Amino acid sequence: MLPERTDVLVVGAGPTGLAVAVTLAGHGVTTTVVDRLAAPPVTSRAAVVHAGTLEVLDRIGVADPLAARGLRSARFSVRDRDRLLLTVRFDRLPSRYPYALLISQAETEAVLADRLTALGGRVLRSYELTGLDLDGYGATARFADGGAVRARWVVGADGMHSRVRELAGIGFGGPADPGESFLLADVRVDSALPRDQVSLFLSRGGPLVWAPLPDGTVRLVATVDAAPREPRAHHFQALLDERGPVRRPDRVTEVVWASRFRIHHRIASRYRSGPVLLAGDAAHVHSPAGGQGMNLGLRDAVALGEALAAGPEALDRYAADRRPRAEEVLGFAAGLTRLAAAPPALRPLRDLLLRTASALPPARRRLAVRLAGFEPAPLPPDLPPEPPQRGGRSGSSVRR
């Protein structure tokens, strides 16, 4: 049952909301986590947790149990059909976690939920936030079942279509393009590609990510011009034929799970509006190329949990520090897409640049650190003042 009051109300129990809640529970802050879903989703979504994220998750006791359940990938390679253009080595990273951990998002969420339970917390399910009244002392959150909770702080960890963001009047801008269209599947495949690394194929049609998963399946993610409503084996076979290896071509033997989705590149205009704070997909969305989306959200989450535990000044720092991180990651993901789609005349130059980078240890190291999600230290505390607070709104319809 919903409590009447709480210090922090976390809306959304995806990876971001769970990680905020675990961080707060570790600091003894009274927290209520709600999610509109009756049970956690079991669908396959993000598949990699990077070293920089594991270092951050180690602060909340989650990295080791996660590492025990995933597949450790020491390398990331960039290919153009049979040609290996670049290899990035994670095993040289100065980290306790010198690898990219391949693990399904459902498992990552399960590990976070177990940690929350161990710290005495839990997710209150089937509660959909529909209204938010903001005032100088906090917020009153209203739910579809007629319930209400009074909270000092509200965390919007409610994903790309965030109701919290909308109700707080925070913009979610981006180019007015139709977004990028993706096909995604977990497949069984006969393949000669190495199973200890993620391969990114650069192709004129767009990037194709080939990532081995702990259960022996392979995650394929590719941008496409028009995604079929019900993607099937022959669609993924066609993608591999068009973009994958030629000498020893891959053969799809089974599609375990498949989906299509469209992503716009967007960042929230601000991460804080009075008592409302955003994190994860509620604050930023971008292409999954490079596997950065959930990772950025998890790092937001721990930073926000620690800031909420530290007090209001730290919250302004959170808001000022995290948005530029999202800008960087969005730029990086867009760059990977541009590299893949380079016009034929520029491809020899692109390939030469990648091969040169591959031969230069400092360039390779920089790329490894970037992909692994290591972030520079947070900004110092001399911050611009927070923009004036806007009034909240109530309602029940979702905009998108």
Binding site for ligand FAD (CB under 6 A): 11-17, 34-37, 45-47, 105, 128-129, 157-159, 163, 184, 221, 259, 261, 280-281, 288, 291-294, 297
User: Three-state SS across 326-393?
Assistant: HHHHHHHHHHHHHHHCCCHHHHHHHHHHHHHHHHCHHHHHHHHHHHCCCCCCCCCCCCCCCCCCCCCC
For ligand FAD, give the closer residue by CB, 180 or 351.
Answer: 180
* Closest to ligand FAD by CB, 26 or 159: 159
CB of 393 vs ligand FAD, minimal distance in Å:
14
CB of 156 to ligand FAD, least distance (A): 9
The residue among 35 and 351 lying less far from ligand FAD, judged by its C-beta, is: 35
Q: Which is nearer to ligand FAD, 294 or 339 (CB)?
A: 294
As given in the structure block, the two tokens for residue 268 are 């929230």
Shortest distance in whole angstroms from residue 296 CB to ligand FAD: 8
- Kindly tell me which of 200 and 367 has the beta carbon lying closer to ligand FAD: 200
Shortest distance, position 364 Cβ to ligand FAD, whole Å: 22
Ramachandran class of 207: left when φ > 0, alpha when ψ lies in -120 to 50, beta otherwise: beta
349 Cβ contact partners less than 8 Å away, ≥ 6 residues apart: none
For residue 16, the minimal CB distance to ligand FAD (Å) is 3
- Is 153 or 358 the residue whose CB approaches ligand FAD more closely? 153
The gap from C-alpha 306 to its chain's centroid, in whole angstroms, comes to 19
- Closest contact distance (angstroms) between CB of 359 and ligand FAD is 29
On whether the CB atoms of residues 397 and 132 are closer than 8 A, the answer is no
- Sequence-separated (6 or more) residues with CB below 8 Å from residue 122: 33, 116
- 145: helix, coil or strand? coil
